[in-house]
Structure 1
């Protein structure tokens, strides 16, 4: 797997929505980390990671998400996941990462909770 991820950032009220596409793995982790940090830097209150179009995810991708959550916490920004593909959701459950990464079914659900 060698297609680098893309992250499309949009601002929706107090939330920054970062739509991640492609592969989240060892090869892409530095690129992805930089893009997630840019989203966190732009956020006032919250970052919603829309993972609808993530095509592959491994332990390096998981570590990148957990690292981004720590950075967001340091910046007093909530970081949550939305539209998590079934395989990725299963990995989050199996590793216990779902205890640290809040998951919403849709971006709209996340925005509604985080905007209130």
Structure 2
């Protein structure tokens, strides 16, 4: 699957739809593109729609942690949405689910 990121603003959130793997090959691009758009929106919530992400490695996790730190500086909140079971398990095993909010749907934000 190709790595694709799309952006859209909805009522309460700025939505980042990620398709493909967030791994060592794509994590820098992922972080850079999200940062650019995050800094140019006035929405409080940055929703990372992960419904089409089937794999994430330590580089991808590092990018998300870095985005969380940056979002706090600008008083925004990153929310992971629609995590697949195996991806959710990675966030639980690494205890990252304790520092980042996850929701099942965009409407839950």
Fold in common (TM above 0.5): yes
Contact 1:4–1:28 (Cα < 8 Å) also in 2: no
* 1:1-116 mapped onto 2 (5 Å cutoff): 5-44=3-42, 45-110=44-109
Deviations 1:16-57 (Å, cap 9, x if unpaired)? 011111110111111111111123113321101000001321
Q: Any runs of at least 4 consecutive aligned residues in structure 1 with deviations exceeding 3 A, and if so which?
A: none
Contact 1:24–1:56 (Cα < 8 Å) also in 2: yes
Counterpart-to-counterpart distance in 1, 2:13 and 2:89? 26
Contact 1:15–1:47 (Cα < 8 Å) also in 2: yes
What displacement does 1:88 show?
0.7
Residue aligned with 1:8, SS: strand
Count of paired positions? 108
**If the length of structure 1 is used for normalisation, what is the TM-score?**
0.87
**If the length of structure 2 is used for normalisation, what is the TM-score?**
0.92
What is the alpha-carbon root mean square deviation over aligned residues? 1.3
What displacement does 1:62 show?
0.7
Counterpart-to-counterpart distance in 1, 2:68 and 2:3? 18
What displacement does 1:4 show?
5.7
Unaligned runs of 5+ in 1: 111-116
Residue aligned with 2:46, SS: strand
Counterpart-to-counterpart distance in 2, 1:37 and 1:5? 17
Higher strand content, 1 or 2: 1
